[in-house]
């Protein structure tokens, strides 16, 4: 018997069952290669000892971890929660474990975490968005770690992606806003540096402006971290302008909720006095009143498909193109026609 406080090992089980460690290992990993009587003897030794395989040792010997790493920008709000949950569930179905960490939208932290996950032997990696130092892609490539990007689909990026067209989605929403009669648009965007989703959503608004003959230079865009309070501040800033916008497109629902709250605080009626739109369609968007008009993103589907594709990449060593998912516009009550001028 091993020392107290130390976990029982394969060896302990083997001794107790009167077989070799190889047999115990086989009982656990490919039971059909072991005759029933032995298997049962081993099983009861396992139970008696409360044996659990040592993960590190398994990894060393088998060179597989059945672990997938995911690095998301934040856990503080719900943007990634639903998609990640679905991702996790699908992984679990296939016998994989998910390791999550969040980078707080900081590129250097993300890089450190990618290295950590690599060191921990992640069989594959899920990252959010494409924008990052090319050296990271080199590293991943050299290490031969299958990597998939989610929340943003771009066909010819260094790694395949599964997501949606942020630019087109935001453009569609902006077109809807303009079709309502708005000509003075404002935008509260997330910080676009190193964030392709934010960058593309800005482009989408600009596309719509151009398509409708609006002057793009009239469009005021404020970039700010994805936090409710920041959305509120940006809203004040936009509305403080001499000729303030009649509709404000927000880079995501969190910012939109901040803007909405501030609007109500300063006595503006939404959408009567000002329209506000979001992006993502997180639960929050439907809870506030008026409910947000926003872009629905198929989070669960994205998470599930990302898991399936990543597993395929890991197991088959193939790399396909990825997949583009559709978004749709959710009609809330936060968008209406402009009143007066």
Footprint of DNA (CB under 7 A): 2, 6-7, 9-11, 18-23, 25-26, 28-29, 32-35, 37-39, 51, 53-54, 57-58, 60-62
Chosen from a copy of itself, DNA, none, partner binding at 168 (C-beta under 5 to 8 Å by type): none
Closest C-alpha among 73, 56, 72, 71 to residue 121: 56
| Helix (H) and strand (E) counts in the chain | 13, 12
Out of 19, 68, 73, 77, the residue judged to bind a copy of itself by CB under 8 A: 77
Q: What one-character DSSP code corresponds to residue 193?
A: T
Min dist. Cβ of residue 102 to a copy of itself (A): 8
Length in residues, the chain: 341
Please tell me whether residue 256 binds a copy of itself under the rule CB under 8 A: no
| Distance (Å, whole) CA 110 – CA 121 | 17
Chosen from DNA, a copy of itself, none, partner binding at 324 (C-beta under 5 to 8 Å by type): none
Structure tokens at 166: 């942020």
Chosen from DNA, a copy of itself, none, partner binding at 35 (C-beta under 5 to 8 Å by type): DNA
Q: What one-character DSSP code corresponds to residue 160?
A: -
Out of 22, 48, 266, 287, the residue judged to bind a copy of itself by CB under 8 A: 287
| Distance (Å, whole) CA 75 – CA 104 | 8
Which of residues 76 and 326 has its CB atom nearest to a copy of itself in the complex?
76
Distance of CA 38 to the CA centre of its chain: 46
| Rounded (5°) CA angle 235-236-238 | 65
Out of 9, 43, 75, 212, the residue judged to bind a copy of itself by CB under 8 A: 75
Please tell me whether residue 10 binds a copy of itself under the rule CB under 8 A: no
| Rounded (5°) CA angle 202-206-231 | 40
Which of residues 97 and 324 has its CB atom nearest to a copy of itself in the complex?
97
Structure tokens at 205: 């608004």
Site residues for a copy of itself per CB under 8 A: 5-7, 50, 52-57, 59-60, 65, 75-78, 81-82, 84-85, 97-101, 115-116, 118-121, 139, 142-144, 228, 257, 261, 264, 283-284, 287-289
């Amino acid at each position: 018997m091993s020392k107290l406080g130390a976990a029982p090992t394969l060896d302990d089980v083997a001794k107790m069952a009167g077989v070799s460690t190889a047999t115990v290992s086989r009982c656990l990993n490919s039971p059909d290669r072991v005759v029933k009587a032995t298997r049962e003897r081993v099983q009861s030794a396992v139970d008696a000892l409360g044996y659990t395989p040592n993960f590190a040792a398994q990894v060393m010997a088998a060179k597989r971890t059945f672990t997938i790493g995911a690095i998301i920008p934040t856990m503080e709000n719900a943007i990634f929660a639903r998609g990640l949950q679905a991702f996790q569930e699908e992984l679990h179905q296939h016998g994989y474990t998910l390791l999550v960490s969040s980078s707080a939208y900081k590129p250097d932290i993300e890089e450190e975490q990618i290295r950590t996950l690599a060191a921990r032997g992640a069989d594959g990696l899920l990252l959010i968005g494409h924008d990052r130092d090319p050296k990271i892609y080199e590293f991943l490539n050299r290490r031969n770690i299958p990597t998939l990007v989610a929340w943003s689909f771009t066909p010819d990026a260094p790694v395949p992606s599964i997501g949606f067209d942020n630019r087109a989605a935001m453009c569609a929403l902006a077109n809807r806003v303009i079709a309502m009669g708005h000509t003075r648009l404002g935008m509260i965007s997330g910080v676009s540096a190193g964030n392709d989703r934010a960058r593309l959503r800005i482009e989408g608004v600009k596309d719509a402006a151009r398509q409708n003959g609006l002057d793009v230079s009239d469009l005021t865009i404020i970039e700010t971290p994805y936090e409710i309070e920041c959305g509120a501040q940006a809203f004040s800033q936009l509305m403080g302008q001499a000729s303030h916008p009649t509709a404000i497109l927000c880079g995501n629902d969190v910012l939109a909720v901040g803007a909405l709250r501030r609007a109500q605080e300063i006595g503006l009626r939404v959408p009567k006095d000002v329209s506000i739109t979001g992006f993502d369609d997180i639960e929050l968007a439907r809870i506030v009143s008026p409910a947000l008009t926003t872009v629905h993103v198929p989070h669960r589907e994205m998470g599930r498909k990302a898991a399936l594709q990543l597993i395929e990449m890991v197991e088959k060593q193939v790399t396909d193109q990825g997949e583009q998912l559709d978004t749709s516009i959710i009609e809330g009550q936060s968008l209406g026609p402009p009143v007066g001028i």
